Amino acid sequence: MRVLGIETSCDETAAAVVTEGGDVLSDVVRSQVALHAPYGGVVPEVAARDHARAVVPVVREALSRAGVAAADLDGVAVTSRPGLAGALLVGLQAAKGLAWAAGKPLVGVDHLVGHLLAVFLRRGGAPPPEERPSFPYVALLASGGHTAIYRVDGPSLDAIRELGATRDDAAGEAFDKVAKLLGLGYPGGPVVDRLAATGNAAAASEAVPAVMARKESLEFSFSGIKSAVARHVAKRGRPEGQALHDLCAAFQGAVVDALVQKTVRAARVEGVERVVLAGGVAANRGLRARMAAACERRGLALFVPPFASCTDNGAMIAYAGALRLAAGERDALDLAPETRTALPRVTRKGGGAR
């Protein structure tokens, strides 16, 4: 089976052709980062307009790199939720038009399910079998829009359960906001990651509180640490030189500690031996290193997809769609965008003791 996947939920216009076995035949990602950078974050209307310009060329490129015509496809998958409504609408219209014109089945994919299954993608030849987890696994999904821990018993929506999520900001959002406060530009994760590598976290630890210290909870909160950095900058000004590196290291260390501790705890509570990383923040070198060490200590097997599978891409959408098609599922041409995920949330937004 060869399935085209289209992704336009946020600030990447992406399309890919993937088989139901997860082999990536093509994967085209056109980032809008430069377009949104002057605003320090994604501007929804700007995103939607740029998707409208880019979606047809990106889809063409994905088909041509895979060496398939629309007539050769077995279906068209598209991110239908969650995301920016206007941005989602562009991908949906493109997918519907193509599916209708070529007479192919259409399936909508929940973007978060795409991230959670991205670990199964095979790029440039098959990795040995142990590089792909079996079900069940515990997955940490940390991106600019979402941060949650899931138990994944299978690829369908009803086999995925949220164990805990953030009550406020997503982890990537915290990186982006702190980078903005420090004058480091957008997106913030990669640059904070780079500066943190040569920083001494202990030298700046008084500026940064521990993140959500309550031990039993699997929920996150990242707004407090962002406010602490904002207060620090308001009082002392933007740090420079080594002090900047130290502050980045302290901030990243606190965020990573929370992500690692809670993910490992979730695996223990669930009695699951496999841990998977997903989402753009999974590119963070500090997170990868500390998660690897923590899993090793506890005898957990850790699966970390390559960077291209962690950040937003069309291949994960095509793959999740291929599994839906293989299960005989289809969506009608009136499929509508939804801003929220179809995965039931257990974590409520906001404060309070729980």
Taking the least distance from each CB to ligand KG4, the nearer of 176 and 246 is 176
Taking the least distance from each CB to ligand KG4, the nearer of 39 and 100 is 39
Q: How far apart, in Å, are the Cα atoms of 157 and each of 84, 111, 116, 272, 343?
A: 21, 11, 11, 19, 6
Residue 312 binds Zn ion, judged by CB under 5 A: yes
For tokens 């996150």, the residue is 220
Residue 11 beta carbon to ligand KG4: minimum distance, rounded to whole angstroms? 7
Residue 68 CB: number of other CB atoms within 10 A? 16
| C-alpha 264, offset from chain centre | 19
Taking the least distance from each CB to ligand KG4, the nearer of 182 and 325 is 182
Half-sphere exposure of 57 (CA within 13 A, CB side): 8
Indicate which of ligand KG4, Zn ion, none lies near residue 176 (CB less than 5 to 8 Å, by partner kind).
ligand KG4
Indicate which of Zn ion, ligand KG4, none lies near residue 164 (CB less than 5 to 8 Å, by partner kind).
none
Residue 143 binds Zn ion, judged by CB under 5 A: yes
Closest alpha carbon to 114 in 12, 238, 211: 12
Indicate which of Zn ion, ligand KG4, none lies near residue 75 (CB less than 5 to 8 Å, by partner kind).
none
Interface stretch with Zn ion, choices 36-44, 245-253, 294-302, 312-320 (CB under 5 A): 312-320
Taking the least distance from each CB to ligand KG4, the nearer of 22 and 172 is 172
Residue 176 binds Zn ion, judged by CB under 5 A: no
Closest alpha carbon to 44 in 74, 82, 102, 84: 84
Indicate which of Zn ion, ligand KG4, none lies near residue 209 (CB less than 5 to 8 Å, by partner kind).
none
Torsional class of 328: left (φ above 0), alpha (ψ -120 to 50), beta (otherwise): left
Indicate which of Zn ion, ligand KG4, none lies near residue 266 (CB less than 5 to 8 Å, by partner kind).
none
Interface stretch with Zn ion, choices 59-67, 142-150, 207-215, 285-293 (CB under 5 A): 142-150
| C-alpha 164, offset from chain centre | 16
Residue 286, C-beta contacts closer than 8 angstroms, at least 6 positions apart:
193, 196, 197, 252, 253, 256
Give the integer Cα–Cα distance in Å for 42 and 35: 9
Query: Which residues contribute to the site for ligand KG4 (CB under 6 A)?
Result: 10, 143-145, 172, 175-176, 187-190, 193, 279-281, 283-284, 311-312
Taking the least distance from each CB to ligand KG4, the nearer of 143 and 261 is 143
Residues near Zn ion (CB under 5 A) are 143, 312
